[in-house]
Amino acid sequence: MKITEIFEKQKRTFSFEFFPPKDYLTAVKFGINAGQLMKLDPSFVTVTYGAGGSTQENTFNLVDMFHNDLGFVCMAHYTCVNATREKIAYDMRTLQDMGIENVMLLRGDPPKGSDSFPENPDGFNYGSDLIRFVNENYDFCIGAGAYPEKHLEAQSEEEDLINLRIKVDAGADFLTTQMFFDNKYYWDFINKAGQKGIRCRIIPGIIPITNFKNIKKFARITGATIPEEIGKKMEPYKDDPKEIYKIGLELAIDQCRDLLDNGAPGIHFYTLNKSRAAVDLYDNLSKDFKEVKNRFEKSFSPHIPEK
Question: Which residues have a catalytic role annotated?
Answer: 17
Q: What is the side-by-side order of every strand in the sheet holding 201-203? A: 201-203, 174-177, 141-146, 102-106, 74-79, 44-47, 13-18, 266-270, 205-206
**E strand or H helix at 300:** none
CB of 119 to ligand FAD, least distance (A): 12
Residue 105 or residue 244: which is nearer to ligand FAD going by CB?
105
CB of 244 to ligand FAD, least distance (A): 25
Residue 21 or residue 205: which is nearer to ligand FAD going by CB?
205
CB 42 within 8 A of CB 14: yes
Whole-angstrom Cα distance, residue 136 to residue 171?
Answer: 8
Residue nearest to ligand FAD (CB): 127
Residue 48 or residue 102: which is nearer to ligand FAD going by CB?
48
Query: For residue 278, what are the contacts with CB-CB under 8 A and spacing of at least 6?
Result: 16, 37, 40, 208, 269, 271
CB of 106 to ligand FAD, least distance (A): 4
Residues that bind ligand FAD (CB under 6 A): 48-51, 77, 79, 104, 106-109, 126-128, 145, 151, 153-154, 159-160, 163, 166-167, 176, 178, 205
Residue 205 or residue 208: which is nearer to ligand FAD going by CB?
205
Whole-angstrom Cα distance, residue 275 to residue 38?
Answer: 9
Q: What is the 3-state secondary structure (H, E, C) of 55-123?
A: CHHHHHHHHHHHHHHCCCCEEEEEECCCCCHHHHHHHHHHHHHHCCCEEEEECCCCCCCCCCCCCCCCC
Whole-angstrom Cα distance, residue 267 to residue 269?
Answer: 6
Residue 106 or residue 141: which is nearer to ligand FAD going by CB?
106
CB of 260 to ligand FAD, least distance (A): 19
Q: Which amino acid is it at 123?
A: G
CB of 251 to ligand FAD, least distance (A): 21
